[in-house]
Structure 1
Amino acid sequence: MSKWLKRPIAFALIICALIFAPNLVNEQGYVLISFASWTLEGSVFQVLVALLIVAVSIYILIKAVQYLFLMLIWPSKWWQKFHVKKSTSFYQNGLNLMALGQWDLAAEEFLKVRRSDRIESARALSLVCAAHANNKKVTAEVENKLKLSDLSTAPSLTFDKSEVPFSQLVLACQSEDYEHAAKLLDTMALPVLKQSIAFQQLWLEINIYRHNWSEVDQMLPKVNKQIKKQSSEHAFDSWQAQLTKWFERGFSSFVSLHSLNQLEQAWKTLNKHNRQLPALLFAYLSALSKAQQSDKVEALILEQRKVLNNVFILNIVRRYYELNHSVQMDLLFTRVQKHLLNAPDDKELLTLLGYLAAGQRDHQLAKQALQKVVYSQNNATDTKLFAQELALLGETQKSLEVYHSL
């Protein structure tokens, strides 16, 4: 009820009391209220006076409690509001610095947050910023401050030791400490497929670099399916590119630790569906290319020809050329020439012919094929090959012009 209505009502009640009270004094009315062993009795006037005294007493008690609240409790609540406002400012500053790419400064801002409902996320973000800073000194400072804050803050504000923050996994992968990352995963003991897409991707990265091929073989199709279902086509393509990089590095490190023969054996144990995934197949062919196994690369391309498109084959041939500066694949060369009879203007086939003809030392054919596509496709590797073929044909001036166009 609003004040403008309360006051007229109270004023009217006082007037009524002044008017009717003298008439009630001499009245002989009698009131008897009995409840269990408790009894209230008296004249009407005495009962009304008693009720009024009780009402006034209750009012005074409420006001006294409110006064004590304002004197003793409200100042701490004011301080809490000030503290929350200050903490929110640190949090927002951290987010703003993240947007600017100032990762080290952002990490420091997040560490200043003390608000209980935000401290967990602030600490996690400080670790993420340290990872993005890619600076071991910043990472060490952040982790050290977190340890110190755990000792000095209240129990309710510390990390739950049974949980490992996702950002710690990111830091472990950032420093390529995959053994430690694997231990963190074991500590978490979470069902991978029920976690976020980010966690699933990180799980794959850790297990690829630890060469756990059987676990990766089992989980990869399920993770791929979930990501494809929840992502746009562009986002899924970006994910496949990232997956290719992980497998390339994973296969390369496996060969360094063991041998190419053991990688081939591991490859054969993978599920057929996984071996046909472009990301996985490209990474494996890159490993073979790095070892200059042109026969095996060619055989696998021809074996998987039904599931591969010309763009994929061109990319792996380019990759082989980048690693070895020459591509000699006789069977593939013959196949490409046959396909060009039916599609003489196919740019991918023409580019492929350029690389394969150069490997056959048919420089005139390589030049003719490449000059039809090199200016429209704008690929640096194709352009370098074209310039090289011009130089081998004695067209030095034109070769220099092509090099300068890069």
Structure 2
Amino acid sequence: MKRSLLLLLILALLLLAGAMAPMFKSDPGHVLINFGSWTIETSVLVMAAAFVILWFAVQLIAWFWRMPVEASRKMREQRAFKQLEKGLLALTEGDWRAAEKALEKSASQQGRTTAHYLAAAQAADSQDAHDRREYYLEQADSGGGKKRFLVELTRARMLLANGNRAAALPLLQDLHKRRRKHPQVLELLSRCYRELGDWDGLVALLPILRKTGVLDDDQVREVREEAAVHKLKKAENADDLRAAWKQLPRAMRYQATIVDAFAASASKLQRSDLAEPVIIASLKHEWNPALVLRYGDIGAEDSSKRLKQCEKWLKQHPEDAGLHLALGRLCAGESLWGKAREHMVKSLELEPSSVGYDAFGQLLERQGELEPAMACFRNALRMSQGQKPEPLPTVTARLAAPGRPEQT
């Protein structure tokens, strides 16, 4: 910038001299300076040239005077840059101690630079050196509002990464008030709410998360479902469970994951009767094998009623493995051993599952068939680990246990 101004000034002087050259040729002017016993007499052109030469001489002397200082400054900047590069490379490699040392040197050599101190704070935090981390963050927090915002955002991110959610939450809430649409703040705040289990706070944040593009429509829907499931699971009594259910949007009450969570909570509270109409309404809306299996919970007091309902469904869904398994459980609960065995075998033929083998193993164990029961339990374990089941002993293919008449 200074060089450009100097060149423009020289060009302007040259143009001015060229314009005034004809006038000085006819009348060079006369300058007389009398100072004490000194008298200087010359033309205007010579005097102007002398001033220009003097100005250049002063600039040259000043340049020589500043040259050692400038050279020293450039050397410091080069050393600081090398330390910065070294620190960032060490930070990338995960060598936190070397990164912190190099970044601290870089910051001290180049002055109070926010970026350097923030990187040093990250290196210290990765070593669990929280006191040093706070020191670097305080050093970085020396600028205006924008730098302070970045420092607080970095502090909140580190607290959250270290599991200190309670300390990170007020920081993130304050940052959200100052920058309501900042993507990083919104992402960290939503994560903090989720990890703290503050589902009401998270749900209240969803509109702005969708508006700013932090979450898309599918993700927003998943978060709403997750929040609903957790609120249903937190119910401590039947009244709380009913209240949580009534607060849900009508469309959400038909979703399988929500209904399953409601049924699980009702079963835990020993109020399976609350879940029956909810499950039936959801299955009428959309058939779901997982909900059918939940409906076949043998712990329910009205198992005979559920058994009749499942037999009605069987006419419409004769090849549904989940329905056969539910019928098998319910029949076992009513001591209908032959039917229980038949439905469980059919369920495993249609779709082998860890739950199916476990239920069949329990039935065989109750019937005294310990060897095939243990084979079923082994298959249940294999399938839970992602392995294929092994063939069962042929005796298990019979629909009635030997010497055990079916009870009705």
TM-score range with shorter-chain normalisation? 0.5 to 0.7
**What's the secondary structure of 2:280's corresponding residue?**
helix
Amino acid at match of 2:345: Q
Structure 1: tracts of 5 or more residues without a match:
1-27, 35-40, 98-104, 131-137
1:168 maps to 2:184: no
> Alignment partner for residue 293 of structure 1, among 271, 285, 294?
271
1:202 maps to 191
What is the alpha-carbon distance in structure 1 between the residues aligned to residue 189 and residue 227 of structure 2?
14
What is the alpha-carbon distance in structure 2 between the residues aligned to residue 401 and residue 202 of structure 1?
44
Superposition pairs of residues 104-183 of structure 1, within 5 angstroms = 109=99, 113-114=103-104, 116-119=113-116, 122=119, 141-142=129-130, 144-150=131-137, 155-156=142-143, 160=148, 164-165=152-153, 168=156, 171=159, 175=163, 178=166, 180=167, 182-183=169-170
What is the alpha-carbon distance in structure 1 between the residues aligned to residue 290 and residue 247 of structure 2?
23
Q: Larger Rg: 1 or 2?
A: 2
What is the alpha-carbon distance in structure 2 between the residues aligned to residue 392 and residue 247 of structure 1?
38
> Alignment partner for residue 78 of structure 1, among 75, 80, 88?
75
**What's the secondary structure of 1:302's corresponding residue?**
helix
What is the alpha-carbon distance in structure 2 between the residues aligned to residue 107 and residue 272 of structure 1?
56
Structure 2: tracts of 5 or more residues without a match:
1-23, 31-40, 108-112, 383-408
> Alignment partner for residue 370 of structure 1, among 325, 347, 352?
347
Kindly indicate whether the alpha-carbon contact (under 8 Å) linking 1:119 and 1:157 is maintained by their aligned counterparts in 2: no
Distance 1:117 1:151, change over 3 A: closer
2:18 maps to none
> Alignment partner for residue 187 of structure 1, among 160, 164, 174?
174
Post-superposition shift, 1:246?
6.1
Post-superposition shift, 1:72?
0.3
Kindly indicate whether the alpha-carbon contact (under 8 Å) linking 1:383 and 1:403 is maintained by their aligned counterparts in 2: yes
Kindly indicate whether the alpha-carbon contact (under 8 Å) linking 2:122 and 2:133 is maintained by their aligned counterparts in 1: no
What is the alpha-carbon distance in structure 2 between the residues aligned to residue 270 and residue 149 of structure 1?
47
What is the alpha-carbon distance in structure 2 between the residues aligned to residue 275 and residue 252 of structure 1?
15
Amino acid at match of 2:373: S
Residue identity (%):
13
1:10 maps to none
What is the alpha-carbon distance in structure 2 between the residues aligned to residue 170 and residue 286 of structure 1?
37
1:342 maps to 2:316: yes
1:404 maps to 2:378: yes
Post-superposition shift, 1:83?
2.0
Kindly indicate whether the alpha-carbon contact (under 8 Å) linking 2:238 and 2:271 is maintained by their aligned counterparts in 1: no
What is the alpha-carbon distance in structure 2 between the residues aligned to residue 173 and residue 188 of structure 1?
17
Amino acid at match of 1:401: A
What is the TM-score normalised by the length of structure 2?
0.60
Kindly indicate whether the alpha-carbon contact (under 8 Å) linking 2:103 and 2:119 is maintained by their aligned counterparts in 1: yes
Kindly indicate whether the alpha-carbon contact (under 8 Å) linking 1:288 and 1:294 is maintained by their aligned counterparts in 2: yes
Kindly indicate whether the alpha-carbon contact (under 8 Å) linking 1:111 and 1:122 is maintained by their aligned counterparts in 2: no
Kindly indicate whether the alpha-carbon contact (under 8 Å) linking 1:301 and 1:313 is maintained by their aligned counterparts in 2: yes
